Amino acid sequence: QVQLVESGGGLVQPGGSLRLSCAVSGTIFSINTMGWYRQAPGKQRDLVAQVTRGGTFYYADSVKGRFTISRDGAKNTVYLQMNMLKPEDTAVYYCNVVAYSSGYDVSPNSYWGQGTQVTVSS
């Protein structure tokens, strides 16, 4: 069973920084993408940042220049460094991995972490 365990969320003042981590474990043949989504109360879940197997990066316009996504292939871990945080960044952040669980899969599966709360407030 594939499992994504997130950590690093919490309360931070505006202008501060947080670093989220997502450790991936279980049976995975190959990973297509690793990314972070966020969802505020009453809002839809939106893609924040993503990195592909080939090393292509994507950032939402609202976080570009402030957030950085990175990965550690040896540890199967993806990170989200969040700097210059704003109150509008407050949300539950979810780690997402799209991966093949075996070499026999004809299509990949999408896996989600449990979510970690990030609150930006003075």
Distance separating alpha carbons of residues 111 and 89, to the nearest angstrom: 23
Average pLDDT over residues 92-121: 94
End-to-end CA, the chain: 40
Distance separating alpha carbons of residues 93 and 6, to the nearest angstrom: 9
* pLDDT in the model for residue 66: 98
Average pLDDT over residues 46-59: 95
Q: Residues 30, 68, 42, CA angle at the centre, nearest 5°?
A: 90
Question: Do 22 and 92 form a contact (C-beta atoms < 8 A)?
Answer: no
**Beta-sheet pairing, 10-12 with 116-120:** parallel
pLDDT band at 43 (very low <50, low <70, confident <90, very high): very high
Q: Residues 76, 77, 81, CA angle at the centre, nearest 5°?
A: 160
Ramachandran region, residue 113 (left: φ > 0; alpha: ψ -120 to 50; beta: rest)? beta
Residue 118, pLDDT > 90, answer yes
